[in-house]
A and B are shown apart, each in its own frame.
Chain A
Amino acid sequence: MAHLAHYREAHPAPFRVTHWVNLISMILLIFTGFCIHFPFFPEFMGMARGVHIFFGFVIMLNVIVRIVLAFFVKSAPAAGTREVVTDYKTWLPQKDNRHQLGAWIKYYLFLKKDHPLSAKLGVPQKLSYLAIPILIAFMFFTGLMLWPPTANTPAIEACINFFGGAMSVRIIHYFLMYVFICFTLLHAYLANIEGFAPTKLMFFGIEHGGLTYDMKTHNISGEDNLGHEAH
């Protein structure tokens, strides 16, 4: 029994919705982005551009909504507990994370056998989840630099020149897409390699029994198999 219990408090409903919106937007943006970069499906070109621009705004709004919600919605700071705190606190370094970056890296490089103790988000997760909103905002901005209605305004024209012209902006936009693809690969891999429980919880709100975690001792405190047989 190595898992912590997966309680709904870790991913309350509003965040499951924003996660869905993120996923759908990302898939559509990446697919239509490829179509715009090179018309692999020529008939789809017009629609691809419309969808791409629409979901570009959707994902940016979603990021803003998610960040604002972080200050209003409460969520669990660790798996295995139903205690909740205001969500933004789970984005910032927690006591449970302290000194654990090295342990995480060692664990994934097979230099450490046992699983590091952690908060809901491990140190590498926290770093990447802090980077992603910034990357999406920057990606959105490079999109504005390529979309004629905004690209033709003097302020944004100056930004385009700062980045070395429209061609450079296009390439930055293109490379960033691959950053998101790589992130998604890593994210999906790490979330699922030790079982699908985190995915079932994040997408469908399905709980899963496991070890419990005490926020006061920052340590595992027992077990809660949610009335199911231990597995």
Chain B
Amino acid sequence: MDNKATATEFQGMLESRGVSRRSFMKLCGTIAVMAGLGEAAAPRVAHALEESVIGASQGDLYPVIWIEGASCTGCTEAFAQIDAPDAATVVLELISLNYSETLSAAAGHSMEEAKAQTIEAGNYILVYEGAVLKGWDGNALRVADKPGYEHLTEAAANATAVVALGSCAVNGGWMAAHPNPSNAMGVQQFLQEEGISTPVINIPGCPPNPEWLCAVLIEYLLLNRLPELNAENKPTQIFGQTIHDNCQRRGHFENGEFVYQFGSPEEAKGYCLYPLGCRGPQTKANCGIVRYNHRRSWCVEAGAPCIGCCEANPMNPGQNWVEVNTPFFKRHRDLRVGDFLFQPEVVAPIVTGVVALALVAHGFGMKAAGRVPKGADFEKVRAWDAKHPDKSIGVYKKEDMEAASKKGGDK
């Protein structure tokens, strides 16, 4: 055996989880690109991964707390439902996930205690999934006999950074849609109101691509820095361009080749989904580059117009992606007046039509009044001048002025 090449301990770990060296290096390449280093830095990332706390086979792993607020657990599911343990899973497993409602084996008091200990020790990353509910004094969501948001307040205060994972965590998402009785909002806005200044990284999406979270966690752990963020605290590398910018169907858009109906020959040809309400032109995310499920496919590739699930303004729960984008297959959202919903492209032409009809009716009136085509005769004296002869604007003939004053007096 001594004359055989031996794998590193880290490689053994990968293999024991069914990960080939090749797929691990591919992941490193992706991470390098997402961290803004360029693919050539993949070996450096691989080396750093092997050396870092992530790959440690002994000693402390970097602690992460994963709290679910008002969530459907879809974000966790997106992470967990991977068909074979691959590199991304390994990275996750190698982080010390000290608390997660869904993934942890333990439950109840012992779980809460583990969380409390982690918080006390500090230097951890908090992943928050789901909306923050402030409704009914926070009792819209109650966890472990406390208002749900108290768990966030406690865990965020001591954390190195908070990752708001998923559109609900970014600005309330589905939960904040009209009428929002539970007063749902995003993590960033909530923490700002509470006066907690821990940096927030917003990763919208419904669900967000697991690779986005990987990239952020790894950039922090490897390079010891938070990713470059835009004005909405979303990683610039991921949310800097629109779906439309990088869409594989973009060529058809430029050619004017569109799908107008599902099931049509145009759809079979993979034409552009713009007329079916695709939100790609206004939604910023790199879905078309990273793709989902092991880079196998993504919504638009699968034939579904983008529904804009990454639209989330962290400081405005009203700008949640559901209200902004429904109905998904129409080019515009619905507008709301009270309980009445309407489409801009119905109301605007109706109002314009009414204006046009009113003008036609008015035209008949003008005709009947004998003003077509020559107009009425001019007034001899301005009506106001007739009533205020001392402040008169115009200079009129005396008899006109007298006649007008008399007439005015009669009225």
Contact = CB atoms under 8 A, between A and B. Distances in A.
Given A174-B348, A178-B351, A165 B313 contact: yes
Interface of A: 1-3, 37-39, 42-46, 95-96, 98-100, 102-103, 107-108, 110, 112-117, 148, 154, 157-158, 161, 164-168, 170-171, 174-175, 177-178, 181-182, 185-186, 189, 193-196, 211, 216-220
Interface residues of B, number: 59
A158 B258 CA distance: 32
Contacts of B253: 45
A114 B257 CA distance: 58
Contact of A100 (B274, B331, B382): B382
A178 B349 CA distance: 8
Interface of B: 230-232, 242, 245, 253-258, 274-275, 281-282, 308, 311, 313, 316, 318-319, 324-325, 331-333, 335, 344-345, 348-349, 351-352, 355-356, 359, 362-363, 365-366, 369, 371-380, 382-385, 393-396
A165 B279 CA distance: 12
A115 B355 CA distance: 23
Nearest to B383: A103
For the complex of A and B, the 4 pairs showing the least CB-CB separation, nearest first, are A99-B384, A194-B375, A166-B282, A217-B395
Contacts of B316: 161, 164
Contact of B369 (A39, A110, A165, A216): A110
A218 B395 contact: yes
Given A45-B254, A175-B348, 11 more contacts: A39-B256, A39-B275, A42-B257, A116-B378, A117-B378, A161-B232, A165-B313, A167-B332, A182-B352, A218-B393, A220-B378
A218 to B, nearest CB: 4
A1 B245 CA distance: 63
A202 B320 CA distance: 49
Contact of A219 (B232, B282, B355, B394): B394
B378 A2 contact: yes
Nearest to B351: A178
Nearest to B283: A166
A96 B378 CA distance: 14
Given A43-B256, A117-B394, A167-B282, A174 B376 contact: no
B363 A193 contact: yes
A196 to B, nearest CB: 8
Contacts of A1: 374
Given A46-B254, A174-B332, A115 B382 contact: no
A114 B379 contact: yes
B313 A161 contact: yes
B363 A99 contact: no
A115 B376 contact: yes
Contacts of B379: 103, 114-117
Contacts of A108: 362
Contact of A195 (B274, B331, B356, B374): B374
B331 A38 contact: yes
B348 A115 contact: no
B377 A39 contact: no
B311 A165 contact: yes
Contact of B373 (A181, A194, A218): A194
29 contacts: A37-B345, A45-B258, A96-B394, A99-B384, A102-B384, A103-B384, A107-B376, A113-B369, A113-B376, A114-B380, A115-B375, A115-B378, A157-B230, A157-B231, A161-B232, A165-B313, A167-B308, A167-B324, A171-B333, A175-B348, A177-B348, A182-B355, A186-B355, A189-B362, A193-B373, A194-B372, A194-B374, A194-B375, A217-B396
Contacts of B394: 96, 117, 217-219
